[in-house]
Amino acid sequence: MLSLTRKMTKTGTGLRGAATLAAAASLTLALSGCTKLETTSPSTVRGAAGAQARAAGFGTVDCRQAKCIALTFDAGPSENSARLLDILKDKQVPATFFLLGKRHIDTYPELVRRMADEGHEVASHTWTHKILTDAEPDEIREELERPNKEIERLTGKRPTLMRPPQGRTDDTVHEICRELGLAEVLWSVTAKDYKTDDPDLITERVLDQSSRDGIILLHDIYDGTVPAVPGIIDALKERGYVFVTVPQLLAPGRAEPGEVYR
Catalytic entry in 74, 170, 213, 220: 74
Using DSSP, state whether 246 is helix, strand or coil: helix
Question: What is the C-alpha to C-alpha distance for residues 107 and 187, in angstroms, rounded to an integer?
Answer: 26
> Mean pLDDT highest for which of 8-17, 51-60, 177-186?
177-186
Q: Which domains does the chain show, CATH number per domain?
A: 41-261 (3.20.20.370)
How sure is the predictor about 1, in pLDDT bands with cuts at 50, 70 and 90?
A: very low
- Beta bridge partners, 96, equal 72, 121
Nearest-angstrom CA–CA distance, 216 and 71:
5
Q: Is 86 a catalytic residue?
A: no
**Given this model, what pLDDT does residue 34 score?**
33
Per-residue confidence (pLDDT) for residue 37, from 0 to 100: 85
- Average pLDDT value for residue range 109-134: 98
Q: What is the CA radius of gyration of the chain?
A: 17
Catalytically annotated residue among 170, 193, 219, 220: 219
**In the structure, what pLDDT confidence band is assigned to residue 13 with cuts at 50, 70 and 90?**
very low
103's CB contacts (< 8 A; 6+ apart) are 20
Average pLDDT of the residues of the chain: 87
Could you list the beta-strand ranges (E) of 60-180. 68-74, 96-99, 121-124, 161-162, 169-170
pLDDT of res. 60: 75
**pLDDT score of 195:** 96
> Does 219 qualify as catalytic in the annotation?
yes
Q: How far apart are the first and last CA of the chain?
A: 26
pLDDT tens digits along 76-106: 999 999 999 999 999 999 999 999 999 999 9
pLDDT tens column, 19-54: 344 333 333 343 333 336 899 999 999 988 754 455
